[in-house]
Amino acid sequence: MVDVSRLRPLIVLVLALLTLVPSFIEMATQGLSPILVLARLAQALALFGTLVWLVTGVVLHYARIQAGTELAQNQDREDTQQRSQF
């Protein structure tokens, strides 16, 4: 869960840059203004940032729930084992 939270910004940046490869190529061939590429980059970062945060938020929420139920099950097993020993 910690790795997912830590890697969110990197995932957003990689996705945004991958979608802008055609724009970078067009800018390199002098067919597109650098200002327009920066505007597209800002839009891509906003879009992918929102999507990645939403998806990973849901995944982390359910991972916490799952971890909580596993912890409760382990505690129940330990309690049952301790009772059976007495």
Residue 15 has pLDDT above 90, yes or no: yes
Residue ranges per domain, the chain?
A: 2-85
For the segment 29-77, what is each residue's pLDDT rounded down to a tens digit?
A: 988 899 999 999 999 999 999 999 999 999 988 888 888 777 666 776 6
Average pLDDT, the chain: 87
Burial class (CB in 10 A: 0-12, 13-18, 19+), 52: buried
Q: Which structure tokens are listed for 11?
A: 């995932």
Q: What is the largest CA-CA distance in the chain?
A: 82
Structure confidence at residue 23 (pLDDT): 94
pTM comes to 0.71
- Answer with the residue of higher pLDDT: 22 or 67: 22
What value does the CA radius of gyration of the chain take, rounded to a whole number of Å?
23
